[in-house]
Structure 1
Amino acid sequence: MEPTPVLYRAEPTDLAGHRLTVQIQITSPQTDGQVLSLPAWIPGSYLIRDFSRQIESIAAFSGEKPVSIRKLDNHRWQCEPCEGPLSVQYQVYAWDLSVRGAHIDQTHAFFNGTSALLAVEGQTEQPCLLELAANEDMEDWQVYTSLPEATGLPGAAERYGFGLYRASNYDELIDHPIEMGTPQVISFFAHGAEHELVFTGVIPNLDLPRIARDVEKICAEQIAFFEPETRRAPFLDCSSRYVFMTMVTDDGYGGLEHRASTALMASRRDLPTQGQDKSVKTAGYQTFLGLVSHEYFHTWNVKRIKPAAFAPYDLSRENHTRLLWVFEGFTSYYDDLLLLRSSVLDETDYLKLLAKNINAVERGPGRFKQSTAQSSFDAWTRYYKQDENSPNALVSYYSKGALIALGLDLCIRSLTQQAKSLDDVMLLMWERYGRDFYQGKPHGIPEDAMPALILEATGYDATDFIARYVEGCEDLPLKPWLAEQGLKLEWQAASKLPSLNARLRQSAGQCQLATVFTDGAAHQAGLSAGDALIAIDGLRVSDTASLERLLTAYEPGQTVQVHAFRRDELHCFTLQLARPARDECVLSRQP
């Protein structure tokens, strides 16, 4: 006898007030009082989000009889015992314009299940049905999601329609975000698998065909990378298609991966429009394509190949792992590399992107204080909670993780005379941990397994490499490694102006110090992050451009008087200007 599905119903009931009403029908509640819970975080974004704080009201009923319900802790509720069936109804405030939560207004509705759909504890392995409903203000809206339609059941949704959708369990239910509205949409096929590009927001003259052509190349390249023989897309185990859901704003950027879709945020200015020169990919468009490539690569690396700490997730608390340098770092390496391999970018553009990432790591003094493995473990409390001192104290498991992947690739290629590469490591990880992840009992990569995996896949003993560059804080010697592959790495100063050794920002009409680098000129002078520069040697600083104009009159080593406001107090500092740092990487192909 098949288990009875848990039935959910979700309807945006107040578009102007940004509210989503959810109902849950539970046929056989727990006899000692049904417990319901909402995830505390969403996979792929390693911070406790406390989504439950947005539940404004909640009530329970057995038939027409009210059932009392009490909150147990931050994320859980318990209903009083009842014979059943049990109905629970609640309202979610949905005004989080991000890829992580829920956002509803008169133009669209978007939500992740982690922020809106309560888990029925004790029944999370049972099948789930989700009814998506529309009110009278959503007359022209359609539904875009990779969640399969409940075909064959009464009330089943048709493609893009409201109605019933299905999931094999709660974990699958919350891993398919949902977009409702009237977006711009285009579809394409890569190795026979359907993909949809969905763009929400005002984007005049968006060049959908051009984006589809480029993204198709990226998807086809990645499918062929992991499955060179079958060319089978992994998401076909749970969905008929892959959906890219992009929310377009003035300056948005971000992405979050799911098993058969991704939620993206992009800047309007980064997307190509009709009439633009199609032979040129602007830096902004390259950024968007890199984001697409990154999140799509996660379909394999992190959604199916996982660290053991994520197999399965415990969404009630932090799940610590020291391996995010593999799952985010390797993905950050391959996202741009596969743009090159798919011919979406040429080598010149690729080397510029690679140099940009090397710059990002080189300019962060925190890399000498925190290892990449520590950065992974501390993502919950440090990387996702950055402040003005973070560049001095942290290293990114994304950016340095990508350089570690590059370094491993170069070392493997050198040792094996190009016969093996990091590709072989990824394919072994896919075969052993990823390909059948959702088909049986999930298992992930143990914390200490990477040296043995690399050795088995390539013959390269990476024990010392990982000890020095992953568990330790050493810089990777990329220059000689790249030279072996015919690439020249040079360092130059990004500016000829003397330096304050600080990052600047324009805020509220003031030139402020965003970060003061440890032991740099500003630090030695006594300046602090947040100080607003007012004058240099009595001449006004009104913005970052005026500061640069003033600095053209000085040489490194000269001393200047700096007036700055700290809060509402005026201070005067004596600062010795530093030499501009040679921290800009330039890569070029050697004969």
Structure 2
Amino acid sequence: MTISYKISPASLHAHLFHVSIFIKNPDPAGQCVYLPAWIPGSYLIREFARNIVEIRAESDGKARALTKSDKHTWQAEPVNGPLEIHYSVYAWDLSVRGAYLDQTRGFFNGTSVFLAVKGQEKNSCNVEIIAPEGKEYKNWKIATTLPAHGAKQGQFGRYQAADYDELIDHPVEMGEFSQISFKACGIPHDIVIAGRHNADLKRLKKDLKQICEYQIRLFGEPAPFDRYLFMTMALGDGYGGLEHRSSTALMCNRDDLPFEHETQVKTGYRQFLGLCSHEYFHSWNVKRIKPAAYAPYDLSQENYTRLLWAFEGVTSYYDDLTLVRTGLISPQEYLDLLAQTVTGVQRSHGRTKQTLAESSFDTWVKFYRQDENSPNSLVSYYAKGALTALCLDLLIRQQTTGQKSLDDVMRALWLRYGKDFATRGEGVAEEAWEALASEVSGLDLKPFFDTAIRSTDELPLQALLADFGVDWQLRAAVGAADKGGWLDKELQAVNSLGVRTSIEGGFVKLSHVLDGGAAQQSGLSAGDLLIAMNHLRVTGGNLDGLLASQPTNGKVEVLAFRRDELMQFNVHLQPAEANTCGLRLKSLEDNLSITRNAWLKG
């Protein structure tokens, strides 16, 4: 039996979507409806139901009682005949996760706006998307991969989904936006960009086509969807992405998009292409190859798995690897990105306290709820997961003399778990991922996984990279802006406070104080505002210089505000830690060059 929805941008200035549900056969005991508490791909309880402003029920033209039973569930009184529920959703979340509405555009994920009908989640769903009223909105159109059910592609009207899970997995963009299309391995793809921009859409189309075709062929044709949509919101300052079964919602800085006069891949555009590559790879790895804990999702509460390193980390490995394998960036540019990832992990003291398995499991309370102590207490399953995937790939290539690689493991995962997921619904059990990697490679990989996943020991990055013709450098940072990269001449280590800083109200704020650093040992704390060092004012522009002017291991007097109290600290400076990575290609003999090319060129 079909569940029917209607959604309309009812009040653009008040940021309200109005939604109606028609339930033909409600539960005779009183129908329950609920809104998800989180959205797949973003592992934090977000309480979307808090944005429901008003809600009511009716049947046979009469108002019916609707009682809230918990934070996101309502129960209607028993009725004889169909039940209708009407409600308004406040939409002012400018992100890829929620819903947004104003006079310039509308956007929503189904998890934010569509109540589920308890007990009928497997029923088919129809949804009518209604255009806003007013002649100023006559040129609005929509972008979504929801299958049409009478509506023309890009137009308001009726759409459908096989069940509730599919309904909430096709976000919708509405408004006036740029759009360009291409085919990858014969599959139609669309790029939609909302917001003001001057992007070179032809170049973007050409570059994304290469990314998409490479990844489709990596797993094997045909693609697991009939059509794909990149929907992007261009902002003055923004970044983010969220994967869906046949689309992705993205946010970027408008200046990161390519301009017509540009011929190089600038830093921001490289980052945007990496984001697109990451979310597209998720079409296989997490949307169809899923952890068993997500098959199916329970959207009412946390879903725990120790495998996020394999889904987010492995995807993070392949996102930039795809760029170098398609020729969009050079091998050295790829190594520079890899060095930045290594640097980020090395600068996280939490890597010595939290394993990758623990990081995956604790994402609900740690990774998505970071605070001033996070660098001391957690490691990113994205970043360290990517480095673990790199090590695993190189190890398999090394031990099988190039006969097998991580590519073969990913294809095996696709064939065993992903390709038929829609009919079988089988997820990857906690121990199954590692077992399949050993099976495909023919290697005993348990010692590697014990080290990489279940311990806080350092990864064997340096040794493995050396075997593939990559020089390794681990040095001290040369300033706060140093994110990593090769230095031909290593500089003398500068003094360090052992902090991360930001600017607040013109003051240098200690956003993070790192374990064992000079600041922590002197009593400085996160949140303190630096005022002066040795009687000289501290600013965002002179802190590095003030530290460099002091003798190595010297002592300085620091004045700082903690809340509204002025405090004095005697700080014994320390040399900057060697936690900044540089990587570079080295000249190789022909046989090693072939091995490295097989890795970097696929």
Give the TM-score normalised by the residue count of structure 1.
0.96
Q: Write the deviation string for residues 447-499 of structure 1: whole angstroms up to 9, x where unpaired.
A: 11123111111112111111111111111021111111111111122215311
1:585 maps to which residue?
Answer: 581
2:243 is aligned with 1:257: yes
2:559 is aligned with 1:563: yes
The number of residues matched between the two structures is 571
For residues 342-381 of structure 1, the aligned pairs below 5 Å read 342-381=326-365
- Measure, in 1, the Cα distance between the counterparts of 2:370 and 2:547: 30
2:527 is aligned with 1:530: yes
Using the TM superposition, give the Cα deviation of residue 506 of structure 1 relative to its aligned residue in structure 2, in angstroms.
Answer: 1.1
1:486 maps to which residue?
Answer: 469
Q: Do the aligned partners of 1:290 and 1:335 also contact (CA within 8 Å) in 2?
A: yes
SS at match of 1:189: strand
SS at match of 1:234: coil
- Measure, in 2, the Cα distance between the counterparts of 1:565 and 1:258: 46
2:8 is aligned with 1:24: no
2:50 is aligned with 1:53: yes
- Measure, in 1, the Cα distance between the counterparts of 2:438 and 2:460: 21
1:317 maps to which residue?
Answer: 301
- Measure, in 2, the Cα distance between the counterparts of 1:409 and 1:556: 41
Using the TM superposition, give the Cα deviation of residue 581 of structure 1 relative to its aligned residue in structure 2, in angstroms.
Answer: 2.1
1:88 maps to which residue?
Answer: 85
Using the TM superposition, give the Cα deviation of residue 199 of structure 1 relative to its aligned residue in structure 2, in angstroms.
Answer: 0.7
The percent of aligned pairs where both chains have the same amino acid is: 51
1:216 maps to which residue?
Answer: 209
Residue in structure 2 matching 1:176, options 170, 175, 179: 170
1:153 maps to which residue?
Answer: none
SS at match of 1:126: coil
Indicate the RMSD between aligned Cα atoms, in angstroms: 0.9
Q: Do the aligned partners of 1:499 and 1:556 also contact (CA within 8 Å) in 2?
A: no
SS at match of 2:541: helix
Residue in structure 1 matching 2:429, options 446, 453, 458: 446
- Measure, in 1, the Cα distance between the counterparts of 2:172 and 2:153: 13
2:320 is aligned with 1:336: yes
2:161 maps to which residue?
Answer: 167
Using the TM superposition, give the Cα deviation of residue 104 of structure 1 relative to its aligned residue in structure 2, in angstroms.
Answer: 0.2
Residue in structure 2 matching 1:234, options 202, 211, 224: 224
Give the TM-score normalised by the residue count of structure 2.
0.94
- Measure, in 2, the Cα distance between the counterparts of 1:274 and 1:407: 38
Using the TM superposition, give the Cα deviation of residue 555 of structure 1 relative to its aligned residue in structure 2, in angstroms.
Answer: 2.5
Using the TM superposition, give the Cα deviation of residue 182 of structure 1 relative to its aligned residue in structure 2, in angstroms.
Answer: 0.5
Residue in structure 1 matching 2:453, options 440, 447, 470: 470
1:307 maps to which residue?
Answer: 291
- Measure, in 2, the Cα distance between the counterparts of 1:478 and 1:121: 49
Q: Write the deviation string for residues 77-96 of structure 1: whole angstroms up to 9, x where unpaired.
A: 01100012111110000000
- Measure, in 2, the Cα distance between the counterparts of 1:398 and 1:44: 13
Residue in structure 2 matching 1:37, options 34, 55, 75: 34
1:79 maps to which residue?
Answer: 76
Using the TM superposition, give the Cα deviation of residue 500 of structure 1 relative to its aligned residue in structure 2, in angstroms.
Answer: 0.7
1:199 maps to which residue?
Answer: 193
1:145 maps to which residue?
Answer: 144
Q: Do the aligned partners of 1:26 and 1:84 also contact (CA within 8 Å) in 2?
A: no
Q: Give the unaligned 5+ runs of structure 2.
A: 479-492, 588-602
Q: Do the aligned partners of 1:179 and 1:245 also contact (CA within 8 Å) in 2?
A: yes
- Measure, in 1, the Cα distance between the counterparts of 2:311 and 2:289: 8
Letter aligned with residue 453 of structure 1: L
- Measure, in 2, the Cα distance between the counterparts of 1:233 and 1:296: 11
Using the TM superposition, give the Cα deviation of residue 545 of structure 1 relative to its aligned residue in structure 2, in angstroms.
Answer: 1.0
After superposing the two structures, state which structure 1 stretch, 472-481 or 299-308, moved more: 472-481
For residues 343-422 of structure 1, the aligned pairs below 5 Å read 343-422=327-406
Letter aligned with residue 574 of structure 1: N
Letter aligned with residue 146 of structure 1: T
For residues 118-133 of structure 1, the aligned pairs below 5 Å read 118-133=115-130
SS at match of 1:175: coil
Using the TM superposition, give the Cα deviation of residue 544 of structure 1 relative to its aligned residue in structure 2, in angstroms.
Answer: 1.8
- Measure, in 2, the Cα distance between the counterparts of 1:180 and 1:321: 35
Residue in structure 2 matching 1:281, options 249, 258, 265: 265
Letter aligned with residue 76 of structure 1: T
- Measure, in 1, the Cα distance between the counterparts of 2:255 and 2:526: 30
- Measure, in 2, the Cα distance between the counterparts of 1:471 and 1:511: 38
- Measure, in 2, the Cα distance between the counterparts of 1:553 and 1:367: 32
Residue in structure 2 matching 1:270, options 256, 259, 263: 256
- Measure, in 2, the Cα distance between the counterparts of 1:158 and 1:52: 31
1:456 maps to which residue?
Answer: 439
Q: Do the aligned partners of 1:206 and 1:271 also contact (CA within 8 Å) in 2?
A: yes
- Measure, in 1, the Cα distance between the counterparts of 2:118 and 2:523: 55
SS at match of 1:545: coil
1:572 maps to which residue?
Answer: 568
Q: Do the aligned partners of 1:563 and 1:571 also contact (CA within 8 Å) in 2?
A: yes
Q: Write the deviation string for residues 257-280 of structure 1: whole angstroms up to 9, x where unpaired.
A: 0000001111122111222x21x1
Q: Give the unaligned 5+ runs of structure 1.
A: 151-155
SS at match of 1:9: strand
Using the TM superposition, give the Cα deviation of residue 210 of structure 1 relative to its aligned residue in structure 2, in angstroms.
Answer: 0.9
Q: Write the deviation string for residues 390-414 of structure 1: whole angstroms up to 9, x where unpaired.
A: 0000000000000110111111111
- Measure, in 1, the Cα distance between the counterparts of 2:563 and 2:239: 31
